[in-house]
């Protein structure tokens, strides 16, 4: 990626510097031409001020001596002047012994005009520019009346070409040096800016090789969502792997006792009826154990980033079923559920949470159950968390009994039907979502209150 970015940035830099150089070169050429034309216009006006006419309005060519530039007096100097009018013409000393090109006839309404570049044969071809200035001889009462005088200024472009060549040499030299420096600076900036990615790549290789357990370095803000997601995936994978191993170990350990009992009964089966009853009891026990462990295994494979699930429809469905079952006792459930409350997980986990807690509440309530659900917001969270609270108006749970009912296989009242594994299942679910479970007494209804808080997703 570093090489691709460097190549792309270098190509963009070369294109930018190239276009910049071309634009500066064109601007410099235009500036030189504009300066030349302004200079030729000043020369023409200065020479025109020195032009004299006789009484008949004829041009006095010998009277033009005070020229604005010494090059007009040097042969083939690159600066030439020619004056044409009634009575003859005049040329500067610089144009002696060769002829200047005849100018085109003046266009109507154009007393002055720039032309060029044109080729002037003076031993070798030379590119020049011309300026034509046409004006009246200023003698309205002359015998021939006022006539038009044409003054032409020619200047070679050789000096411009030399300046352009020198400018291009300097321009492209400096742009080349600037380009090399910018590439070096660009390399340094890319290496500095991509350093966190190289650190992340090194850490990922260390993870793959088993030399590192997590991405625990402090990364820039742009990479923290990536490192956080990778750490979450690692934690989820390890948690699922550990849970699967524990499930298999628990299943194997749990089945050892019933199998040992069956083995003993087979070896000492004296009473067929007692043997049959014991076999039935142990088989039922193994069935309960397998059901419990399968429920745990099914729950352990939840997706890390599931689509959010609306809580209200699931809660209504469960409560409707429970109200039918406990209709004879007249237990009803009241809702305080926020319409925006969503569960960021699998629907089965939400069903398991609501089902176990609500069933316990209906089982122990006298007449009322209260379900409270609302989202939990944090400033930098990608998804809100969730708060669930189930309360009933039953006898409640003594503080010293709370740790006992949260244990596996333990029921709050042995006289009530159940296996005592529901709380263990929901605790595993809450733990897998990094949530918290608290049990205390309801201030509003007087019975037990189970509060679950699931954190926001960063």
Per-residue pLDDT reduced to its tens digit, 31-53: 988 898 899 889 888 888 877 77
CA pair distance 358, 368, nearest whole angstrom? 11
* The pLDDT value given to residue 451: 93
Residue 145 phi, psi (nearest 5):
80, 180
* The pLDDT value given to residue 434: 87
332 and 313 in one domain? yes
Residue 316 belongs to some domain of the structure: yes
**Cβ neighbour number for residue 355 with a 10 Å cutoff:** 18
CA pair distance 429, 35, nearest whole angstrom? 84
Tell me the three state secondary structure of residue 196: helix
From residue 449, alpha-carbon distances to 106, 322, 407, 453 in Å are: 107, 18, 17, 13
CA pair distance 344, 245, nearest whole angstrom? 26
* The pLDDT value given to residue 420: 45
Percent of the chain residues past pLDDT 70, beyond the cut = 76
* The pLDDT value given to residue 126: 66
- Domain count for the chain, please give it: 3
Domain residues for the domain of 383 are: 309-454
CA pair distance 59, 91, nearest whole angstrom? 13
272 and 375 in one domain? no
CA pair distance 365, 448, nearest whole angstrom? 9
Q: Let me know: does 93 contact 75? Beta carbons within 8 Å.
A: yes
Residue 319 belongs to some domain of the structure: yes
* The pLDDT value given to residue 269: 64
443 and 381 in one domain? yes
Residue 355 belongs to some domain of the structure: yes
* The pLDDT value given to residue 250: 57
96 and 30 in one domain? yes
146 and 39 in one domain? yes
DSSP string covering 249-286: HHHHHHHHHHHHHHHHHHHT---HHHHHHHHHHHHHHH
**Domain end among 143, 164, 185:** 164
267 and 139 in one domain? no
377 and 331 in one domain? yes
Report, as ranges of residue numbers, the positions in the chain whose pLDDT lies below 70: 1-2, 54-63, 86-87, 97-110, 120-126, 137-147, 243, 246-247, 249-254, 256-258, 260-261, 264-265, 267-270, 285, 288-289, 292-306, 407-422, 458
CA pair distance 147, 168, nearest whole angstrom? 47
Q: Single out the residue of 437, 433, 410 nearest to residue 421, CA to CA.
A: 410
* The pLDDT value given to residue 412: 46
* The pLDDT value given to residue 260: 63
Residue 266 belongs to some domain of the structure: yes
414 and 266 in one domain? no
**Domain end among 250, 267, 299:** 299
364 and 268 in one domain? no
147 and 18 in one domain? yes
From residue 451, alpha-carbon distances to 387, 391, 435 in Å are: 7, 9, 10
**Domain end among 121, 146, 164:** 164
User: Which residue is listed with tokens 């979450």?
Assistant: 232
* The pLDDT value given to residue 334: 92
Residue 183 belongs to some domain of the structure: no
């Amino acid at each position: 990626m570093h090489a691709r970015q460097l190549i792309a940035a270098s190509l963009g830099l070369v294109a930018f510097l190239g276009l910049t150089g071309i634009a500066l070169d064109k601007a410099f050429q235009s500036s030189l031409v504009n300066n030349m034309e302004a200079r030729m216009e000043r020369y023409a006006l200065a020479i025109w001020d020195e032009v004299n006419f006789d009484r008949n309005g004829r041009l006095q060519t010998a009277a033009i001596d005070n020229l604005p530039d010494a090059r007009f007096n040097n042969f083939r100097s690159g600066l030439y002047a020619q004056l044409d009018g009634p009575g003859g013409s005049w040329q500067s000393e610089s144009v002696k012994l060769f002829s200047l090109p005849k100018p085109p006839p003046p266009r109507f309404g154009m007393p002055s005009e720039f032309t060029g570049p044109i080729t002037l044969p003076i031993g070798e071809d030379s590119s020049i520019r011309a300026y034509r200035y046409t004006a009246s001889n200023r003698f309205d009462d002359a015998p021939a009346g006022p006539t038009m005088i044409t003054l032409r200024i020619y200047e070679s472009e050789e000096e411009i070409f030399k300046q352009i060549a020198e400018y291009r040499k300097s321009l492209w030299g400096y742009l080349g040096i600037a380009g090399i420096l910018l590439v070096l600076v660009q390399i340094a900036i890319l290496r500095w800016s991509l350093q966190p990615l190289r650190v992340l790549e090194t850490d990922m290789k260390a993870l793959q090789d088993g030399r590192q357990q997590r991405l625990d370095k402090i990364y820039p803000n742009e990479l923290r969502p990536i490192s956080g997601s990778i750490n979450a995936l690692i934690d989820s994978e390890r948690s699922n792997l550990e849970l699967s191993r524990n499930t298999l170990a628990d299943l194997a350990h749990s089945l050892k006792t019933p199998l040992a009992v069956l083995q003993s009964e087979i070896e000492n089966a004296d009473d067929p009826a007692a043997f049959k009853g014991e076999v039935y009891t142990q088989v039922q026990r193994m069935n309960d154990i397998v059901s419990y462990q399968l429920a745990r295994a099914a729950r352990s494979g939840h997706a890390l980033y599931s689509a959010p699930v609306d809580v209200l429809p699931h809660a209504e469905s469960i409560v409707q079923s429970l109200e039918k079952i406990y209709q004879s006792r007249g237990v009803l459930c009241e809702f305080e559920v926020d319409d925006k409350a969503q569960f960021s997980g699998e629907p089965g986990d939400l069903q398991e949470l609501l089902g176990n807690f609500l069933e316990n509440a209906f089982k122990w309530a006298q007449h009322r159950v209260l379900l409270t659900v609302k989202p939990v917001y944090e400033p930098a969270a990608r998804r809100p968390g969730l708060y669930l609270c189930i309360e009933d108006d039953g006898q409640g749970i003594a503080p010293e009994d709370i740790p006992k009912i949260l244990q596996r296989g333990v029921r709050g009242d042995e006289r009530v039907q159940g296996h005592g594994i529901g709380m263990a299942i929901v605790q595993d679910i809450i733990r897998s979502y990094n949530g918290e479970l608290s049990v205390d007494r309801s201030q509003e209804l007087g019975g037990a209150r189970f509060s679950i808080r699931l954190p926001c997703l960063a």
